[in-house]
């Protein structure tokens, strides 16, 4: 009886691992930061995104057709490394621009008023978007790649092209590493390699 239960548990674990790996492409980042590529991925249309931003506007992805937009989904207020990541991204924006990025927005599931205070405290200029009901995060499946459960994003970057098609994607926040910060040099290298491979 005990052996049968153990066998059933083992079969379940193997099946879950197969489903995890089979639904996402396993990839290794150029800077030794492992990531997977969630769905929707490169070549697929980016889901609609219209969320309130900390500057008082609504960030509507469709309104930026003709520009390449980097979406950075992150854990939010509890994750200081996520904000350090955004600070470094802002400081290195010219390097991202050299890869074709026109605009950046970051998305968390926290309340807008607290995000506005955090953005001000950190001196950030990037629009911070509040996805309180997780509708957008779920449509991009970014809640599948974190350590805090499916109510939060992990650490995902999705590059949306001028025509609304996803050009590149990397989800760093999933198990086993749960990466919540990576040097922008690694981000740039992973993005460059991904764009070259799809180009």
Local mean pLDDT, 10-residue blocks, the chain (199 residues): 42 35 44 89 97 96 98 96 97 97 97 96 96 96 87 95 98 92 95 90
Please name the residue that has the structure tokens 């953005």. Answer: 119
Contact 61, 48 (CB under 8 A): yes
pLDDT value for 149: 77
Cα–Cα distance for residue pair 181/51, rounded to 1 Å? 24
- Residues whose CB falls within 8 Å of the CB of residue 17, separated by 6 or more in sequence, listed in order: none
pLDDT value for 6: 41
Query: What are the tokens at 154?
Result: 């992990």
| Among the listed residues 158, 159, 160, 154, the one whose alpha carbon sits nearest the alpha carbon of residue 142 | 154
pLDDT value for 31: 57
Contact 46, 178 (CB under 8 A): no
Contact 173, 85 (CB under 8 A): no
CATH class of the domain defined by 24-198 = alpha beta
pLDDT value for 198: 81
Count of CB atoms situated within 10 Å of the CB of 180: 19
Contact 133, 111 (CB under 8 A): no
Helix axes 80-91, 184-198, angle to 10 degrees: 70
pLDDT value for 16: 35
Q: 133: which DSSP letter?
A: T
Cα–Cα distance for residue pair 199/197, rounded to 1 Å? 6
pLDDT value for 147: 84
């Amino acid at each position: 009886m005990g052996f049968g239960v153990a066998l059933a548990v083992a079969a379940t674990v193997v099946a879950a691992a197969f489903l995890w790996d089979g639904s996402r492409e396993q990839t290794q980042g150029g800077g030794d930061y492992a990531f997977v590529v969630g769905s929707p991925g490169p070549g697929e249309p980016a889901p609609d995104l219209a969320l309130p931003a900390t500057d008082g506007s609504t960030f509507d992805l469709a309104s930026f057709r003709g520009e390449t937009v980097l979406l950075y989904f992150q854990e939010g207020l509890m994750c200081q490394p996520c904000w350090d990541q955004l600070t470094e991204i802002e400081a290195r924006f010219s390097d991202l621009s050299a890869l074709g990025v026109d605009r950046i927005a970051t998305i968390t599931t926290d309340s807008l008023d607290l995000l506005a205070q955090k953005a001000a405290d950190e001196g950030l200029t990037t629009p911070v978007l509040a996805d309180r009901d997780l509708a957008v995060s779920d449509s991009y499946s970014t809640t599948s790649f974190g350590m805090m459960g499916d109510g939060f994003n992990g650490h995902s970057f999705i590059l949306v092209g001028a025509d609304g098609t996803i050009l590149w994607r990397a989800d760093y926040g999933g198990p086993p590493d749960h990466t919540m910060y990576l040097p922008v040099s690694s981000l740039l290298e992973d993005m460059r390699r991904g764009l070259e491979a799809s180009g």
